[in-house]
Every structure is written in C-alpha cells, then in structure tokens.
Amino acid sequence: LTNIPIRIFNVHKDNALSEPQTVIDHNISIYPKVIKSLTFENKTGILSVKGPGMGFIPGILSEIARVLYENSVNISSVITSQISINLLIAIDDIDKAKNLVESLEIHAVNDISVNTEISLIAVVGNGMTQIPGVAAKVFSAIADEGINILLSSLGASDVVTYFVIDKQNTKR
C-alpha cells in the first residue's frame, strides 16, 4: 500500500466529516504564508570550539565528530564559521563532550566553552527557502522583541529554520 493520503479533520467544525482540515500526501504545496508552526526545546546546549583560521584547516570537525561518536555523544546540529565550530548537544552529554574535545588538544583551538542557558527555536513551514523574505520576517519579529539570536541555521532544510536564543527570552 503506497500513496494513501492522510486526511485530518477538525471534529469541532459543523462539516467535520465532509471537509478535511489538512491532507498529507505525496504532493508538495507551498503557500505565501509559509510559516505553520513554532516550537522550542530547552534540553540542548552549545559546545563552542574556537580558534583563528579553523575553517581553513582540514579535519578538525571530523576529529571532533569521531571522538564524540566513539563515546556515544550525539551531535544534533553543527553551525560553523571560519573561526568557530558550534555543536548542539544534549545538556546531559555536554560536559562529557567538552572534556572529550579538550582531550584532543587540537593546536588551532584556543577556546572551548559551553552554554546551556539556551532555547532552540524551530520555525516550521514547507517552502522556507523558496519564498523571499521569510527569514527577514522571522528575524525582524525576534529583533522587534529585543531578543538577540545567538546562532541560526537557515537553508539546511526547506521545511524548518532553527535559531538559538537565551533561555530567559523563550516565552516572550
């Protein structure tokens, strides 16, 4: 059995059984109002590994990923720049991860830090990278509330954009 659509009905509406609220099937639908939901979680921390020119030195990320893998530490996401590698890791594993990365003694690294006072926010909607201005609207709304975005991951998925803020700003 394949290509069977899933129909979701709102039982609180008068026409509940005649008109589905949502249909999930193999068709992809992108609408101008792309954003459908927003969610957050507070069980992730950032392990930041910094040093000048790290983005130009081959193998640093693979070395870090290898030691974490060998010690059963999962990396939820990686956000990088030329001078830093930021790993999103479960709070329960983040101190272990920091100790493991420190044990590697990578010469290009001059700072390893942890931030567990963060919230990982997910903005969800099909077509996030296909409709112009979606990121601008999201980031402007956050800025209008006086909230700083610490890290962001945009474009890795067409369905979700992630960003990290201070945990104290989560419910604003």
Residue ranges with strand state E in the chain: 6-8, 22-24, 37-41, 44-50, 77-80, 84-90, 111-115, 118-124, 149-153, 160-166
Q: What is the per-residue pLDDT across 5-51, written as a single tens digit (0 to 9) for each? A: 887 777 776 666 677 777 777 766 656 678 888 899 999 999 999 99
**pLDDT over threshold 80, residue 92:** yes
For the whole model, what pTM was predicted?
0.80
Percent over 90 (pLDDT), the chain: 63
* Summary mean pLDDT of the chain: 89
